[in-house]
Amino acid sequence: MFELLRTHVRKRVDLTDEEFDVCTKFFIPKKIRRKQFLLQEGEVCKSLTFVTRGCLRSYTVDGAGEEHILQFAVEDWWISDLCSFLSGGSATMNIDAVEDSELLLLEKPARESLLAAVPKFERFFRLLLERHYLASTKRVVDSLSASAKDRYLSFLSMYPAISQRVPQSQIASYLGITPQSLSRIRHEMASKP
Amino acid sequence: MFELLRTHVRKRVDLTDEEFDVCTKFFIPKKIRRKQFLLQEGEVCKSLTFVTRGCLRSYTVDGAGEEHILQFAVEDWWISDLCSFLSGGSATMNIDAVEDSELLLLEKPARESLLAAVPKFERFFRLLLERHYLASTKRVVDSLSASAKDRYLSFLSMYPAISQRVPQSQIASYLGITPQSLSRIRHEMASKP
DNA sequence: CGCGGGTTTGATGATGCTCAAGCCCGGTGG
DNA sequence: CCACCGGGCTTGAGCATCATCAAACCCGCG
């Protein structure tokens, strides 16, 4: 259960076995079924969530009722409404499960205790935030410059695992195009490489 | 010179006059002329920059040599390549001056000292980072859902001051459209409200 | 077998791009 | 003082991309 988290954290900061064992105490395991919500718009996001099995997505719903997917998270990824979690304000995003999933939740007070117990995690969470900020910035640049096809190719190369597991219509929503357009792009890519 | 910064900080955290006076020691005033660079791609972003007069922009340059503007900053705003500043890695952005400007630079070691001297600034910088992250997320959602005209309207209502001072071609770059398209959108808006 | 979802395919239209020319205006040099 | 540039904005025509509406298709499942 915690093996994945251990190797995940160790890729970023080096921890002794003891330090990691301390850390496990602060996480709450949770299972969640396909289509179940982990967070709904208007609630407060109370935890950082690490995915050990399955797949989740975060998205907003606009005035016209359209969903816009901001992030997918499969095994070895984190997902949450960071703004809501950090600020304590209410969430603008929804998070739900694309597949039946297993999670490790790190709630806010637990995170504080963890940081106090193992200060090396300061660095870890700073890196995590940077990575999210970087990804968000990259998406802005991509949306300014790249065509739908280029954005899809970039999505495929960056998240090959995800593209296998998520319905095309949701990938289209992530890319900001209609499912029909994505279907045509795939068709074109299949005929001439 | 520091008056603007004082009221800016006080809007977010309450500081005594003494606490603020301590803080001023850590900032380096700097003047910069129109078109001069504050940061170039590949360098390391060594400081957080507060604008007291003038206007700056941050942007990336893609493979085709096109500029993509990520942010404008006029008086009372911050600008920097946050990822580079926080991680110490090399910057992917350029920052230069749209107008002759006056800045207050807070370099990394100075920021550490400031945080040690006045811990209330921890909260201030956390809020700053949240605000940037929120803005970036909002831009992603907008790019997924809104038309060029809607994005322009949203830009106007969010940054009315900036739209008066920046050439249209640069606003177009911020919106991810060509100057021609922006001109047509404006024409259409002028004829029928 | 038939239903329901996700995907594909087709036809048509809107949005925004490209290329190209013209316009406006401030700056410069004759 | 005026003619000439040059840069930024506008305007036009044609085109590429992607959306919309609609129908067909595929496939797993009751």
The pLDDT of residue A172 is 97
Q: Which residue of B has its CA nearest to A177?
A: B144
The pTM assigned to this predicted structure is 0.93
Average pLDDT rounded to a whole number, residues B60-84: 94
Nucleotide nearest to A175 (CA to C1'): D18
Residue A192 pLDDT greater than 70, yes or no? no
Residue B78 pLDDT greater than 70, yes or no? yes
Residue A1, judged by CB atoms within 10 A of its CB (0-12, 13-18, 19+), counts as exposed
The pLDDT of residue A190 is 82
| Helices of type H across B74-119 | 82-87, 108-117
Q: Do A140 and B70 touch (CB under 8 A)?
A: yes
Residue position matching structure tokens 């496990």: A24
Residue position matching structure tokens 């952005």: B93
Residue A7 pLDDT greater than 80, yes or no? yes
Q: Residue A142 — very low, low, confident or very high, per pLDDT cuts 50/70/90?
A: very high
Q: Residue B192 — very low, low, confident or very high, per pLDDT cuts 50/70/90?
A: low
- Whether the CB-CB separation of A24 and A2 falls below 8 Å is answered with yes
Q: Residue B190 — very low, low, confident or very high, per pLDDT cuts 50/70/90?
A: confident
Q: Do A145 and B62 touch (CB under 8 A)?
A: yes
Q: Which residue of A has its CA nearest to B67?
A: A145
B148-174 pLDDT, tens digit each: 999 999 999 999 999 989 999 999 999
Q: Mean pLDDT of all residues in chain A? A: 94
| Strand residue runs (E) in chain A | 28-32, 37-39, 47-53, 55-61, 67-74, 78-79, 94-97, 101-107
Residue B94 pLDDT greater than 80, yes or no? yes
Find the largest Cα–Cα distance for chain B.
57
Average pLDDT rounded to a whole number, residues B100-109: 96
B111-132 pLDDT, tens digit each: 999 999 999 999 999 899 999 9
CA A1 to chain B, closest CA, distance in angstroms equals 30
Residue B39 pLDDT greater than 90, yes or no? yes
Q: Mean pLDDT of all residues in chain B? A: 94
The pLDDT of residue B132 is 95
Q: Do A143 and B145 touch (CB under 8 A)?
A: no
Residue–nucleotide distance: B144 CA to C9 C1' (Å): 25
Residue–nucleotide distance: A37 CA to C1 C1' (Å): 35
CA A133 to chain B, closest CA, distance in angstroms equals 6
Residue of higher predicted confidence among A190 and B2: B2
A28-61 pLDDT, tens digit each: 999 999 999 999 999 999 999 999 999 999 999 9
Nearest to B145 among A66, A133, A141 (CB): A66
Residue–nucleotide distance: A169 CA to C3 C1' (Å): 21
Q: Residue A193 — very low, low, confident or very high, per pLDDT cuts 50/70/90?
A: low
Residue B177 pLDDT greater than 60, yes or no? yes
Q: Which residue of B has its CA nearest to A91?
A: B134
